[in-house]
Amino acid sequence: MGPDDELTRRTPLLDDAGRAMLRRLREHPDAPRWTYAVGDRLAAEDLPALDRFREQLTAGPVPSQPWSPSPVVLQSVAHALVHVPRYRAAVPAHLDLEHDWNLLPTTCRADLAETPWGFVPDDQPLDRLVIYRTAGTTGHPIAIPHHPWAVACYLPMLEHALAAHGVHLDPAPDTVACALLSFQVRTYTYSTVLSAWAGSGFVKVNLRPTDWPSPDSPARYLADLAPQLVTGEPVVLSELLRLGVRLAPRSLVSTSLALSASLRVDLERSFGCPVLDWYSMVETGPIARSCPVGHGLHLLGPDVFVEMLATDGSAVAPGQRGEITVSGGRNPFLPLLRYRTGDFGRLDHAPCPCGDPMPRVVDLEGRPVVVFRASDGTPVGPVDISRALRELPILRHAFVQHADGACELTVQPRPGDPVPGISEIAASISALFGTQPCTIILSADLPPGEPPFRSELPVGR
C-alpha cells in the first residue's frame, strides 16, 4: 500500500481540502513529533446515519419514566439477548424486560476482560470492527470492540452538550475543530481530519516540551491552529494555565477525571469560555455532561439507560448513592446490559433550574486524580508507571510520591519467576522521573489494602 492508500484507508472520505488541512497540521514549522497515524474510518453511508442520530439528540430528550428503560433501550436489549452469546447464556427467553428488569444479570469490567468476544453479537459483520485498549487508572488493559460510526457519534453528542452551554462550533474544511491535549511522558500523537465535522482538522498533541521543535512551539502551534474546541484531562488543562498558553477556543472540555470547581473557575476566567465536564468511558461512550448552572451532570444519550445499583446488584432507592450502571448504547459490537462502571454517584430526577429535563448524576465519585511529577516538572500518570513496569515479573506494586518529590516503590515479585533486579526497576522509574530520588523495596507480601498509586504532592503544584 502506498502512503495515499494508507491515508484513504484511515480516512475514506478524505478530499483535496482535507489533504491541504493535513499538510497544514503536519508541515507547520512548530508541529510536534507525530507518533501515530489514525483517521475516523468513516464511510459515506455513515454520514446520513450520523445526521439521524444528531436529529434524535436535537429533537429534545424524550422524558421516559425515570426508573425504567425507554422503549428505545428495551428494543435494543431484546435484540442483544438473542444474539450476544454472554447474555443469551445468562437470561431466559421471553423475559418481560420492562416488568422484570431487576432480574437481569449485571456485567462489569472483569467480564469484559475475561471474554470480550462473548459480547459481540452473532449477527454483526466484523469488517468494520476496531479495537480500543483501555487501562483506566488501575488494572490491566482490556480490549474494547468498537465501530467507527459509534465513535463518530461522540461529535453530535459534544455539539449537543456544548449547545446547552451556549457554544456552537462551525467546523469547516479550513478550520481546526478540535485539539486534544495531553501531557505525558509518552503518548500517541497524531493529526487527522474529521469527516463528520465537515473535514475540519483535529490534532492530538503532547504538551511535554521534548515533543516539540522548540520550547515556544506548543504555544505558537496551537495559537496558529486556533482550535474551536480543546479537550483534555483536568491536569492537562491546568498545565495550559501553568505554561501560559494563550488560546481562544469556544470551549474547553475536561475529560476522564473529576474537574474541581476551583480549576473550572480558573480556566473559565483565563480562557474566557465555558468549561464543560464530560463523563464518558470507552466501554459505554459518553454518559453525561455538566449542567450549565452547576447542578451535576445531565445524562446525554437518548439510547442508554442509567441506573444506580447497590453492591448486591439491586436498584438503590430513588436518589440514593449507587454504582452507575449503563444499558443499551450505540456500539453495535458491544450492546450493554447493566454494565457496572465502577463509578458511584446519585441520580437526581428533580427538575433542573437550567431547564434541561434529562436526569442528573450528582455527587459523582469518579476516578480520582492521581498525579506525580518528574524532576523537571512533567506530570507522570499512573498509566505511565504501569506501562514501565508491565514487562517486569511483578505481581503487585505500591507507588508513593512524597511531598518533597521523593518516590518509593514497593513491589511484590511474581512467585515462580526470577526476582526482578532492583537496578532494573530503578532504571525504569528514573526513565520517567528523571533525577527524582526513588527507593525500591522488594516485599514478599504487600498488604492487600495498599493502593497501587498514591501522591502526597501538594495539590495545585
Partner 1 sequence: MTSLTLSALLRWLREMPGAFRAQPVGFPGGEVRVRAVLADLWEEVTGQPAPPALLAAFEAQSDGKTERNRLRLLLAAAHILWHPTLRASRPQPERLRRFLIQELPAMAAVVPADSVLDDEERGEELIRLALRAAGLHLEGETAHDAEDRLKQVDSVERHRVLAEAAQRERRAREVREAMARKAAEEAAAKVTRE
Subset of 338-367 contacting Zn ion (CB under 5 A): 352, 354, 356
Nearer to partner 1, 191 or 412 (CB): 191
Q: How far is the CB of 165 from Zn ion (least distance, A)?
A: 10
Beta carbons within 8 Å of 21's beta carbon, 6+ residues apart: 173, 174, 176, 193, 199, 200, 201
Distance CA 329, CA 44 (A): 22
Nearer to partner 1, 151 or 389 (CB): 151
Residue 108's Cβ-side half-sphere holds a number of Cα atoms within 13 Å equal to 9
Residues 21-60 that bind partner 1 (CB under 8 A): 36-42, 45-46, 48-49, 52, 56
Q: Please tell me the count of residues contacting partner 1 according to CB under 8 A.
A: 84
247 near partner 1, rule: CB under 8 A: no
Looking at residue 241, what DSSP letter applies? H
Nearer to partner 1, 195 or 428 (CB): 195
Nearer to partner 1, 231 or 401 (CB): 231
Beta carbons within 8 Å of 419's beta carbon, 6+ residues apart: 393, 413, 442
159 near partner 1, rule: CB under 8 A: no
Burial of 47 (C-beta count, 10 Å sphere; 0-12/13-18/19+): middle
Among 162, 229, 297, 364, binds partner 1 (CB under 8 A): 229
401 near partner 1, rule: CB under 8 A: no
Q: How far is the CB of 293 from Zn ion (least distance, A)?
A: 6
Nearer to Zn ion, 229 or 352 (CB): 352
117 near partner 1, rule: CB under 8 A: yes
Q: How far is the CB of 110 from partner 1 (least distance, A)?
A: 17
Q: Is the dihedral of CA 73, 74, 78, 81 positive or negative?
A: positive
297 near Zn ion, rule: CB under 5 A: no
Q: How far is the CB of 342 from partner 1 (least distance, A)?
A: 13
Nearer to Zn ion, 309 or 352 (CB): 352
98 near partner 1, rule: CB under 8 A: yes
Q: Which residues of 172-207 are buried (b: 16+ CB within 10 A; e: fewer)?
A: bbebbbbbbbbbbbbbebbbbbbbbbbbbbbbbbbb
Q: How far is the CB of 93 from partner 1 (least distance, A)?
A: 5
67 near partner 1, rule: CB under 8 A: no
122 near partner 1, rule: CB under 8 A: yes
Grid coordinates standing for 352?
Answer: 433542573
Query: 354 is in the binding site of which of partner 1, Zn ion, none (Cβ under 5 to 8 A by kind)?
Result: Zn ion
Among 21, 107, 167, 233, binds partner 1 (CB under 8 A): 233
278 near partner 1, rule: CB under 8 A: yes
Among 93, 261, 444, 459, binds partner 1 (CB under 8 A): 93
295 near Zn ion, rule: CB under 5 A: yes
Helix (H, G, I), strand (E, B) or coil at 402: coil
267 near partner 1, rule: CB under 8 A: no
Q: How many helices, marked H, and strands, marked E, lie in the chain?
A: 13, 21
384 near partner 1, rule: CB under 8 A: no
342 near partner 1, rule: CB under 8 A: no
Q: CB–CB of 296/164 below 8 Å?
A: no
**Which contacts qualify for 247-250: CB closer than 8 Å, 24 or more apart?**
247/222, 247/223, 247/271, 248/272, 248/273, 249/179, 249/273, 250/162, 250/167, 250/168, 250/169
Q: Is the dihedral of CA 118, 121, 127, 132 positive or negative?
A: negative
Beta carbons within 8 Å of 117's beta carbon, 6+ residues apart: 145
Residues binding Zn ion (CB under 5 A): 291, 295, 352, 354, 356
